[in-house]
């Protein structure tokens, strides 16, 4: 349960930080970011696999060479859908969702590892902004 709460808080913080960087994305506050992170997690858990299955013919036609781009577009679509559902989280267009998703992926990739819950809060912040220790 602690790991889930930590992941939710870190995802909300990432949404807040990335929203400051990308034009066309607005987050009204931390509570809106937490709700957006929760809805985004649910969308990625339940809807993204369905959309990925529907994109399977494109993966087959490209011999899987563009799987990363297709997944990035699917994640951006989930973020755009989240902005339609959550009040206080606004994504102006698909381009903003696309670039916001890319920055969020880069930031969270350096955070997510097996020992994330065993880190001190100061180490989590260092890992978020500097990469793995």
Q: How many domains does the chain have?
A: 1
Task: Compute the 3-state secondary structure of the chain and give helix, strand, coil in percent, each to the nearest 5.
Answer: 75, 5, 20
Residue 77 CB neighbours (<10 A): 18
Range of the domain at 44: 2-130
Residue 24 has what DSSP assignment? Answer: T
- CA distance readout (Å), 51 to 29, 45, 83: 30, 11, 18
pLDDT given at position 83: 93
Q: Rg of the chain's alpha carbons, rounded to an integer?
A: 15
pLDDT tens string 23-63: 888 999 999 999 999 999 899 889 988 998 998 898 889 88
What does pTM read for this prediction? 0.75
């Amino acid at each position: 349960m602690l790991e889930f709460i930590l992941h939710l808080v870190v995802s909300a913080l990432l949404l807040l930080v990335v929203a400051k960087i990308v034009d066309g994305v607005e987050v009204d506050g931390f509570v809106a970011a937490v709700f957006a992170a929760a809805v985004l997690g649910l969308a990625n858990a339940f809807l993204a696999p369905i959309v990925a299955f529907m994109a399977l013919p494109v993966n087959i036609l490209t011999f899987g060479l563009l799987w990363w781009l297709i997944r990035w577009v699917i994640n951006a679509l989930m973020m755009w859908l989240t902005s339609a559902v959550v009040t206080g989280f606004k994504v102006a267009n698909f381009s903003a969702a696309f670039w916001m998703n890319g920055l969020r992926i880069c930031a969270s990739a350096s955070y997510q590892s097996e020992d994330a819950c065993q880190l001190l809060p100061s180490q989590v912040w260092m890992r978020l902004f500097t990469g793995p220790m």
